[in-house]
Amino acid sequence: MFPECTTGYKNEECRVTADWLLAQVPVRPLVGIVCGSGLGGLADMLKDQVVINYSDIPNFPQSTVHGHAGKLVFGTLKGKACVCMQGRFHLYEGYPIQKTTLPIRVFKLMGVETVILTNAAGGLNQNYKVGDIMVIKDHINIPGFAGNNPLVGPNDDRFGVRFPCMSDAYDRGLQQLAHEVATEMGFSVFMHEGVYSVLGGPSFETIAECRMLRLLGADAVGMSTVHEVIVARHCGMKVLALSLITNQAVMDYDSEKKANHQEVLQTGELRAKQLEKLVSNMVSRI
């Protein structure tokens, strides 16, 4: 069964969803966290949890990917009110791009001011090792080159301006905080800062595509995050994004390696606890 395909986004539709959610929980979240493949354990760190299945939320899409639980978790993290998505939505699931990013608009209408996004990514930079964490400082939106952007269509000025700036998409203060917290925790040895490139998926990249992306300046590649970042910035929220390098992109025609989703989930499981601690300590200082 394919997801229902609708186009565009409506403030009224997002407002109905936000109001319904706020009626279910005792607090208004200030921080929104989006969990990538195998990283849903971040939500388990929240205290005083209220868990809502995506299937119960009005107008919400459904997650169809293994490793994405499909739950919205409300609670507190180090005393801060948070909402956490256990599972996100992707272009390759068949949803229109505006539908995949609807939860970010709902975050805004619920009162979220800062969004922290995590993802599993393939490492293009040969200095990166599997299990490293990359703080995203910029992105390359390949689908956007062909006009597949979540802001396509009529602009609703209640969310943001028609032509939002993206040169400051990733908040520099939050990037600096991530590095400071990582150093304090002894994590700086596996922390990097780099450029993330998004593709549509679901097929993994060819060798030629990986080589091209590296030439363009990308350090890691994946199938998510960028579209959510664009919408978050359009709505005026601060953004921090972290990539867990779960596999090395194949760049050599003589290589026998092959990218696979199981490897992604396994690496996420191995490094997830440290990533959870990093995000938790960051939230306490936002």
Residues serving a catalytic function are 37, 68, 90, 92-93, 120, 223-224, 247, 261
**8 Å CB contact between 165 and 171:** no
| Residue owning tokens 């590649």 | 221
How many C-beta neighbours within 10 Å does residue 92 have? Answer: 16
DSSP string, 135-193: EEEEEEEHHHHTT--TT-SS--TTT--SS---TT-S-HHHHHHHHHHHHHHT-GGGEEE
Both tokens of residue 146? 């062909």
- Residue 96 preceded by cis peptide, ω within 30: no
